[in-house]
Structure 1
């Protein structure tokens, strides 16, 4: 009986068709969840970006829909040789650097003030976010009216205080138009820095400050020796994000000055808009947009290499 059972077991072994294991099924499910995001990226980001780069090498003008021949680098050469390209590039650099620097400094000062145990701190924390939540168009138009020399309240105050002899058209003079918009942009954007820094400050252990105070380190010393190093990671992320946001900002400048007067506040995004929507030259607009993207990629690559070299140098030491 036992021999028979063993023999049958050898003649007819148990077999089963193996299917996908649990890990394979989990990967397939993960791919299904990622697929909508991938499609969204391809449709919203990748395809438009590829179209812009493609159009930058073609003679594409909405006034001449039948002509779309390949022109190589002709669009790039024409953009660079444009009369206002260098001025727009310089304005973009000034606009970005001064805006980000002002937002950072004012944001960290406000965060340090709101981190103190002052009365009504919760109210001030709620009020300070108001400039950030105000729509750009509303903020731009409001400040434009305030800066108007005829009926602007800011001009009226400055004259009454004796700081101005007569109303001054801040947005109508080439020397002050861009600087005025930068100040307004700092006013609107610094609350984002403030809230972020405030959250980071609350995560710093109080014991560090107490130990530093016992060692005789004053408030300024504690700020530079403790606070700033603790905020380094947050600062890098904030600055990088706002460099991108500010350099490609279009609506604020357009609402307040439209790049004027005489192109004194025109930046590269404004120039792209003029090529595309006023001159209807999609080829030139795409070439300038590609140049702006290339400048940003090169800048961030240089910064990335600098950080890597710095970390390697520290590791070697």
Structure 2
């Protein structure tokens, strides 16, 4: 009996050895295929990030090579003591919060509309993508012309409709510049939400809506109880991605206002650009970039571990 047990265990070990060897070969092959991508990420992402962190701890000036040496926390202190830092931080939070909220609301509304069985639905689904595919620089310049107080079409329409008494310089006034750029950013970015949410809507089982309707649930009730829960995963991903993308967005604000007037629309990315390219203070620019990067990394880990905890449940 013992001999039979020994033979059986020896046979099982003999079968397991080729399987283990095969798994090892597969892992080596996978590592070999991933190596070029890993090297590319190392060169294009990891090294620049490490260099930014390194530069943030040193004095560096683009026009004065003599400015060098270890700075410690001086660059961070320079940023925090800058009188423009807190207004720029508030502008960044405002710009990001309003943009993401507006994009999601408009994108969800458009997705719900395009999910209905209407005529020429395919045409409308193609048209809604147009703002997203227009390059930011071109879109920004076009909106500058549309909003121009002298010959802008939008000002003329608003005056004709009686909504305003006279043309306004929407991008040139302190109280409207940031809000105007935010609205333009919502216009450009909401199609991405529309496409993603529309795809998620197609996956909602029709039988659930039919059963809820038979039970007497109205349209709003079915939307809140059935549709929204099915959109939760896609919505969280979209919102998180766009919080990061919008917070680090430089192009739209720089093209349309360059952070003006009087820094009324200056955000942290614009401030980083001014530190580096106008004040030539690379150390302070890298310090502010490192602070922004740290905040984004913290958001990522909160989101990632939140998703893992929900998945565990």
TM-score scaled to structure 2, two decimals? Answer: 0.90
Q: Report the equivalent of 1:219.
A: 219
1:23 Cα offset (Å): 3.2
Unpaired stretches in structure 1, ≥5 consecutive residues: 1-17
Distance 1:305 1:48 in 2: 26
1:108 matched residue in structure 2: 108
Match of 2:290 in 1: 290
In the TM superposition, residue 277 of structure 1 has moved relative to its aligned partner by: 0.8
Matches within 5 A, 1:152-301: 152-301=152-301
Hey, what's the Cα distance between the residues in 2 that align with 1:69 and 1:274?
22
Please say which of residues 125-134 and 57-66 is displaced more in the overlay: 57-66
Which segment is superposed worse, 288-297 or 132-141?
Answer: 288-297
Secondary structure at 1:249's aligned position in 2?
coil
3-state DSSP of counterpart to 1:118: coil
Q: For residue 48 of structure 1, what is the aligned residue in structure 2?
A: 48
- Counterpart position of 1:65: 65
Q: 1:45 to 1:309 in 2, by over 3 A?
A: closer
- Aligned counterparts of 1:35 and 1:270: Cα–Cα separation in 2: 36
Larger radius of gyration: 1
Partners of 1:21 and 1:267 in 2: CA distance: 55
In structure 2, the residue corresponding to 1:170 is in which secondary structure? coil
Residue in structure 2 matched with residue 93 of structure 1 by the alignment: 93
Q: In 1, distance between residues paired with 2:291 and 2:23? A: 45
CA, structure 1 residues 197+311, in 2 after alignment: closer, same or farther (shift >3 Å)? Answer: closer
Q: Which residue of 2 aligns with 1:127?
A: 127
Query: Could you tell me how far 1:164 is from its partner in structure 2?
Result: 1.1
CA distance in 1 between counterparts of 2:292 and 2:35 reads 30
Count of aligned pairs: 295
Matched ranges for 1:72-83 at <5 A = 72-83=72-83
SS of residue in 1 equivalent to 2:171: helix
Tell me the TM-score normalised to structure 1 length.
0.89
CA distance in 1, matches of 2:35, 2:299: 32
Residue 253 of structure 1: how far off its partner (Å):
0.4
RMSD: 1.8
Distance of aligned partners of 1:310 and 1:230 in 2 relative to their CA distance in 1, 3 Å threshold: closer
Where does the alignment leave 5 or more consecutive residues of structure 2 unmatched? 1-17
Q: CA deviation at 1:307?
A: 6.2
1:27 offset after TM fit, Å?
Answer: 2.3
SS at match of 1:171: coil
How does 1:134-149 map onto structure 2 within 5 Å?
134-149=134-149
Aligned to 2:157, the other structure's residue is in SS state helix
| Counterpart in the other structure of 2:9 | none
